[in-house]
Each structure stands twice: as structure tokens, then as C-alpha cells.
Structure 1
């Protein structure tokens, strides 16, 4: 089990790294557009590819956000509960999240496969094959499911299940 969890953690770090690289790419695209507009021009591909990048960033960063505990959550009710009940509520919420994300993965798989089989292209000037950005989003959603599964396994085994402040500077903690 430890090997599986370690493998999921490595995949999560890879997804996180790709998301960071895509953020830099997104910034480069937007800066290119700003410079072009300053010259009274525009590049249509910057808007198209930046949209793909934003979807991929969101998807790829979702799993690592669960892993490191930096996602948005509402703890108002959970903080008022005793630790045992809080654990049960957390496990139930994790199970519900696994079901929801599994449905999203299935839908993205269907969408990506359909785009690939039918060779669906973007309606923009670039005519990009849509299965490529859809596959990256599918990867991100699958990674989210894996990170949720790893979190649940660790929670059930009473192991540390979140790495809060894992990347924080010593002065931040």
C-alpha cells in the first residue's frame, strides 16, 4: 500500500509541476498579447491557448491542492464537532467527492475520446485538435481522484493525510 501511495504522491508532484509550467506559459501568452495590442495588433491564438492553459492549470492543480490541504473548505461545522465525529464526516465527504470526481473523469474521458475519434477541431484560426487540451484536463481530474483516494486510504489508516505547509518557508510557518 505504501508503494501505491508513494506513486500517487509522485504523480501529484508531476501534475503540480506541469501546472506551474503552464502558469508561466499563460503569462507569456498574455504578455505577448499585451505587447501586440500596444502595436495595434492582436494574436488570436493567445486567447485560445490561454483558455486551454487555464483549464489545464485548474485541473492539474486540484489534486495537489487536496494533497497539501490548500483547497478552499468551510470548517465552521467541522470545528464544532468532537474529533471522532469530525473524522467520520471527513471520510464521508471524501467518499462523496470520489464519486463526484469519478463522474467528472468519466465525462471527460467520453468527451476526449469523442473529440479524438471524430477529429474535432477548434473553430478558431489555429484549428487545434480539441482532444489535446481535453486530455490534459482529463489527466488533472484523474489525478484529483487519485489524490482523494490516497487521502481516504491514509485517513482510514490513521496516517497523516494532508501535507499542510509542506512547501512553506520556515519563516511562514
Structure 2
């Protein structure tokens, strides 16, 4: 079980690095678009399309790591007024609900990406990007979130702390 938890944490961390790279590339593309329009008075055909794909990729690829870090919005109204046992049970119930939803979304996105791949769907823009690529990345991110939710449920069931919280309250660092 320890190996599974480490692998899921590693996948979430790797996806978070990929999400950060997507945001960096997004920044470069938008700045290039601004510079080209300002200097040469024309637009890069791919810039807005790929900026949207990269934003989507960053969002989906970062979800699992964000959950593991305790960064998603939570309503803790009841948790502050309940003893630890019921609080953990409530957290398990919420995690299970999230797991069902993310599992469904993983399946739905996977079906969408597979259909685009089989059908050869492409964007209607000049780049004619195969839609299976950005849809596949979204599916991967959603699948990682689903695995992180499974790992979270395991941690809650075994009495382990489900969130990785750094001592200083900031972003965890490798030491």
C-alpha cells in the first residue's frame, strides 16, 4: 500500500511540474502574440488556441497535487464543531463523493478523447490540432485526481494525515 501511495504522490507531483511548464509556455505564447501584434501588426494563428489548451492542461494537471497539498476550497463548518472521529468520517464521506464524481469525469473525458482519436477530430482553426491531444491531457489530469482521491481515502481509513502540510505553511520543498 505504501508503494501505491508513493506512486500516486509522485504522479501528482510530476503532473504539477507539467502544469507549471504549461503556464510558463502559456506566458511565452501570450507575450509573443503581444510583441508580434505590436511590432508587426499581425497575429500568430495558433496563439489563442494553444493558450486555451495550455490553460486547460495546467488546470487539470494541477488538480491532484493541489488536493494533496490541501489547497482546494473546503467548507469546514461542521469540522470545527465535531470531535475527531466524526470529523474524519465526514472527511471520508466527502472524499468518497469526490471520488465518484472524479471517476465519472475521468470516464467521460476519456470517452471524449477516445472518440476524437478514433474519429480523427481536429480543431477548425488553421493549425487543425487533433482534439485527442488536449482532451487526452485533460483525461490524464482527471485520472491523477481520481487516484489522489483513492489515496486520500486510504490515508483517512488508516488514520494517516490525508494532506501534506509543510511546517512553514508554504509550498513543500524537497529536502
**What is the match of residue 163 of structure 1?**
164
CA distance in 2, matches of 1:50, 1:137: 14
**What is the match of residue 79 of structure 1?**
80
CA distance in 2, matches of 1:33, 1:164: 39
Q: 1:105·1:142 contact (CA, 8 Å) conserved in 2?
A: yes
**What is the match of residue 21 of structure 2?**
21
Aligned length: 170
CA distance in 1, matches of 2:141, 2:28: 22
CA distance in 1, matches of 2:126, 2:44: 10
Kindly report which structure 2 residues correspond to 1:8-87, keeping only aligned pairs within 5 A, or say none. 8-39=8-39, 40-87=41-88
CA distance in 2, matches of 1:123, 1:75: 45
Q: 1:36·1:43 contact (CA, 8 Å) conserved in 2?
A: yes
CA distance in 2, matches of 1:131, 1:42: 25
**What is the match of residue 132 of structure 1?**
133
CA distance in 1, matches of 2:15, 2:31: 24
CA distance in 1, matches of 2:25, 2:103: 29
Q: CA deviation at 1:76?
A: 2.3
Q: 1:19·1:56 contact (CA, 8 Å) conserved in 2?
A: yes
Describe the SS at the equivalent of 1:44. coil
CA distance in 2, matches of 1:71, 1:26: 23
Give every structure 1 segment of 4 or more consecutive aligned residues whose post-TM-superposition deviation is greater than 3 Å.
none
CA distance in 1, matches of 2:64, 2:158: 20
Describe the SS at the equivalent of 1:126. coil
CA distance in 1, matches of 2:12, 2:6: 10
Q: 1:29·1:46 contact (CA, 8 Å) conserved in 2?
A: yes
Q: CA deviation at 1:77?
A: 2.8
Q: CA deviation at 1:168?
A: 2.7
1:125-147 CA distance string (max 9 Å, x none): 10000001111110000000001
Unaligned runs of 5+ in 2: none
**What is the match of residue 141 of structure 1?**
142
What RMSD in Å do the two structures reach over aligned CA positions?
A: 1.5
TM-score, with structure 2 as normaliser: 0.92
